[in-house]
Structure 1
Amino acid sequence: MRRREWMLHCSACVLTLAAAGATSAPVAAQGRTDAAGGAAPRRILVLGDSLSAEYGLARGSGWVALLDQRLRSQKLPAEVINASISGDTTSGGRSRLPTLLKQHRPTHLIIELGGNDALRGLPLTMTRDNLKAMVQAGKDAGAKVLIIGMQIPPNMGASYARDFEGSFRTVAQDEKVALQPFLLAGIADRADMRDWFQGDGIHPLAKAHPLMLDNVWKVLRPML
């Protein structure tokens, strides 16, 4: 019920989300080298939307920046490239990905896209096709791929919401890649859920991002 309350609130904030996408710029890449000064053996490319692009947060407090910090603290040499853009859709990610793959040559690709597709009422077949194309592009480039799932407001129809949630699982299973089912698990379903989101009710506060990282880390760490 608490997760449903968050989703219902999100459905009332679609225009806010669209406005965020229209005014936000890409997050700059964050990288590092290994202790010897050479290229890091792992390069993690994050392709996401506002949930990964630090929308409304102080620079360096989002889950992607925290991922870089955790890799450092655990002495796992890796470079993290955050190519997330607020408001981006799977179509936008699909169009940007080939250039990003050529530029960064990642060993790991994290795809956190799809939420904006649903909020804009885009066809699920298109979302699945775009996810599949991005996964295949990542695999063809030699990267291990992790899909991060999302859920949507139930007012868009129970069947649509269920099929949307299942789209991430379907693509992951068909393409045999890793899946993190819901980035906001443990946040959107909290008793004090409203205290964990910004005023728009969509974007988590900085204090939620360590939990978001933990959700991703459970799946990503074995891949490293």
Structure 2
Amino acid sequence: MNWDARAAALVTAAAFALMANPRSAQAEEAQAAQAAQAKASIVVLGDSLSAEYGLPRDTGWVNLLRERLAKERFDYSVANSSISGDTTSGGRARLPAVLDRLKPAVVVVELGANDALRGVPLATTEANLRTIVEASQAAHAKVLLVGMYVPPNYGPDYTQKFHGVYEQLSKEKKVPLVPFLLAGIADKPSMFQSDQIHPTVQAQPLLLENVWPSLKPLLGAPASK
């Protein structure tokens, strides 16, 4: 199944992903809150692409980020506040509690794909993302936006306008942007699970490599050896 053909199954899969979330974001946040007492924290506010949907536990790109931080001696905890099927409205609604509980140094915003799948107006998506960025900055957190493209069968005009939301906010709010989380795998069916929507375990290192170059400059200096 190619990238165009996947679109027919996306809306249904997104709905099931919300019900079948394999991990509890709240439980993970509670663990991270304890760790954050001793070190600065990074919060990933995302959807199924970050929530390890369909993957064995601790094999997603967010956990690989934890390992990368430790390997390169960056003293940060990571809270995966990602929920499968979540939209920008959901992320906006739960962000204040996340900021209050974890007081993150960095917020990685990986939301928006489900908005497009559900036909949410672009203006609503943009407003929600702007609020998420502004609230995070008001809480003294640095922000990293993670961009997304929708399948091309949505039409080139909508596809460009959708991605343009991330580009515009990045410029307007002066926050770095990961252009496309699925860069390098979107046209490779073998990198997706049987639903041809969610990346496999083998794809997770590539997702991290897409995020890391934009995230690393937001971190303080690594600990000396």
Query: TM-score, normalising length from structure 1?
Result: 0.91
Does the alignment pair 1:39 with 2:21? no
Q: Who is 1:182 aligned against?
A: 180
* Aligned residue identity for 2:14: L
- Give the CA deviation at 1:53: 0.1
Partner of 2:222: none
Matched, 1:197 2:196: no
Displacement, 1:16?
1.7
- Between stretches 56-65 and 20-29, larger displacement belongs to 20-29
Q: Distance in 1 between matches of 2:115 and 2:15?
A: 11
Using the TM superposition, give the Cα deviation of residue 22 of structure 1 relative to its aligned residue in structure 2, in angstroms. 2.4
CA-to-aligned-CA distance 1:54-97 (integer Å, 9 cap, x gap): 00000000000000011011111101000000000000000000
Q: Structure 1 CA distance, aligned partners of 2:210 and 2:164? A: 18
Partner of 1:167: 165
Q: Please list every run of at least 4 consecutive aligned residues from structure 1 whose deviation after the TM superposition is greater than 3 angstroms.
A: 29-34
Structural mapping, 1:1-224, within 5 Å: 5-6=2-3, 8-14=4-10, 15-24=12-21, 25-27=23-25, 28-29=28-29, 31=32, 33=35, 39-40=38-39, 42-189=40-187, 193-224=188-219
- Aligned-partner residue type, residue 17 of structure 2: A
Structure 1: 5+ residue stretches without partners: none
Report how far residue 173 of structure 1 moved. Answer: 0.7
2:116 & 2:98 partners in 1: Cα distance? 24
155-164 vs 112-121, which moves further: 155-164
CA distance in 2, matches of 1:186, 1:207: 13
Taking only the aligned residue pairs, the percentage that are identical comes to: 48
Contiguous gaps of at least 5 residues in structure 2: 220-225
Query: Which amino acid counterpart does residue 203 of structure 1 have in structure 2?
Result: H
Letter matched to residue 68 of structure 1: R
Q: 1:33: Cα distance to partner?
A: 4.9
Deviation string 1:174-205 (CA, Å, 9 cap, x unpaired) is 1111110100101113xxx1111001111000
SS in 1 for 2:109: strand
CA distance in 1, matches of 2:198, 2:123: 26
1:208 maps to amino acid: A
Relative to structure 2, which stretch is displaced further, 8-17 or 160-169? 8-17
> How far does residue 26 in structure 1 lie from its aligned partner after superposition?
3.0
Aligned partners of 2:136, 2:5: CA distance in 1, in Å? 34
State how far apart, in whole Å, the 2-side matches of 1:106 and 1:197 are. Answer: 31
1: CA distance, partners of 2:24 / 2:122:
25
Kept after mapping to 2: 8 A contact 1:26/1:86: no
Distance apart, 1:157 and its partner CA? 2.3
- How large is the Cα RMSD of the aligned pairs? 1.6
- The answer to whether the 8 A contact 1:33-1:77 is kept is no
Could you tell me whether the CA contact under 8 Å between 1:48 and 1:111 is conserved in 2? yes
- Shift in Å, 1:158: 1.8
